[in-house]
Amino acid sequence: MTPPRPPSATEEQLRRAEEALRRSEQDFRQLIEHMTDLVAIRRGTSFVYVNRAGAAALGYRRPEDLVGHDVFEVIHPDDRARMRERVRVVDGGGHFGGTMEVRYLRPDGSTIVLELSPPQIVQYEGEPASLVTGRDVTERKKLQAQSALAERMVSLGILSAGVAHEINNPLSCVMGNLDYLAEALGDLRGGAAADGLHEMDEAIRDAREAADRVRRIVLDLAAFSRSDAESLGPMDLRPVLESAINMAWHEIRSRARLIKEYGDVPLVDAHETQLGQVFYNLILNAALSISPGATTRNEIRVVTHTDAAGNMVVEIRDTGGGISEEERIHLFDPFFTTDPAGGGAGVGLAVCHGIVTAHEGTIVVESEVGKGTVVRVVLPPASARSNITDTQTFE
């Protein structure tokens, strides 16, 4: 019997290399399995791998229960269209440069929000596949919602004094004119000259205009106070800006001229109440940065236009005192405020940043001490377009 031939040096090197590769793969898989974030690999529309943390986050006891499962079946119905578009782009060779928040449905009916990393094309079991990691941000979203509600309550408190003043003036006009009409009608019944009818017409017209002003103030306040139960949908943000301006008007009118330049803009997928809160805070901040009594020298300019990428851009520009570089870099930090002691809680801009980011947009501040401030909000467009061009100035 011929003894077995000892392996050659080359064969021994290959054996050792294969063994090292197997150990490396085992170590790498063990590392992924011990990660606290989701790691998932998709091919087509199905999961081909999910780590233990990912399966647990999605409400499954074993990763094997998700392998072969349709990716879209575990995604919230309202987020499936966005995810299908993302998959279409990635599988077509495109790229996503940022994270994406997606809601997932667990088997027990509860919802979890994952912040997904940009997908990467990898080789898995010898074939191309898409790898993504996800972090559970459900609790963070709840805290953001609570913070937004708290900030809205603070804002409503600030609004109350101004709204009371705004409502009192037109109501006084209504009551005064109605009293006059009562007296005038009494005179007419007593045989007064018919010329009094013209004055009565003017009084009625004034009363109607004042009552309409009250109605608009109440509607704007009601819209601002709505809960966040509204759904995301394409909308023209011009009326949202108008409502925010109306609510901040009691601060604007004694400080600056308001100039509105509404250029060509796209519709935006948005929550009306949330973005109304953003615009109100930004416009109010612009007004409060200007001292009262110099309206002819100062202005607040609200500008909308479309950038080169097709995004909607809203700019709030003011000629106030400006912000120093040291303060500007902390503007979006929670509880940081440039207001004097007792002037504000310092959560307004942090909440604005959270809302704009949740809408997949950006918010930046440009400012120089003594030269004013520009706050720029950029939001991605919806599929439809709204061509709007309007310029108005209010003294």
DSSP secondary structure string, 370-394? Answer: TTEEEEEEEE---SSEE---EEEEE
Give the pLDDT band of residue 384 (cuts 50, 70, 90).
very low
| Helix (H) and strand (E) counts in the chain | 9, 16
The whole-number pLDDT of residue 94 equals 79
- pLDDT, mean of residues 187-212: 66
The whole-number pLDDT of residue 243 equals 87
Q: Is the dihedral of CA 100, 386, 313, 370 positive or negative?
A: negative
The whole-number pLDDT of residue 306 equals 94
- pLDDT, mean of residues 180-184: 74
The whole-number pLDDT of residue 156 equals 64
- pLDDT, mean of residues 141-158: 68
Could you tell me the two tokens for 120? 């990467």
The whole-number pLDDT of residue 312 equals 94
Q: Which domains does the chain have, with CATH numbers?
A: 9-136 (3.30.450.20), 140-225 (1.10.287), 233-395 (3.30.565.10)
DSSP code at position 75:
B
Give the pLDDT band of residue 328 (cuts 50, 70, 90).
confident
Q: What is the DSSP string of 153-215?
A: HHHHHHHHHHHHHHHHHHHHHHHHHHHHHHHHHHHHHTT--TTHHHHHHHHHHHHHHHHHHHH
The whole-number pLDDT of residue 162 equals 64
Of the listed ranges 21-35, 63-77, 169-183, 268-282, the least confidently predicted one is 21-35
Could you tell me the two tokens for 213? 């002003």
- pLDDT of 337 strictly over 80: no
- pLDDT, mean of residues 187-215: 67
Q: Closest by alpha carbon to 173, among 199, 203, 217?
A: 203
- pLDDT of 192 strictly over 70: no
- pLDDT, mean of residues 12-16: 70
Highest mean pLDDT among 2-6, 99-103, 174-178: 99-103
Give the pLDDT band of residue 386 (cuts 50, 70, 90).
very low
- Tell me the pLDDT tens digit for each residue of 217-268: 666 666 555 555 455 678 899 889 998 898 888 889 889 999 999 998 999 9
Label residue 24 exposed, middle or buried (CB < 10 Å: 0-12, 13-18, 19+): exposed
Measured CA to CA in angstroms, residue 196 lies from 24, 181, 188, 209, 245 at distances of 98, 10, 8, 20, 38
The whole-number pLDDT of residue 260 equals 95
H or E element that contains 107? none
The whole-number pLDDT of residue 10 equals 74
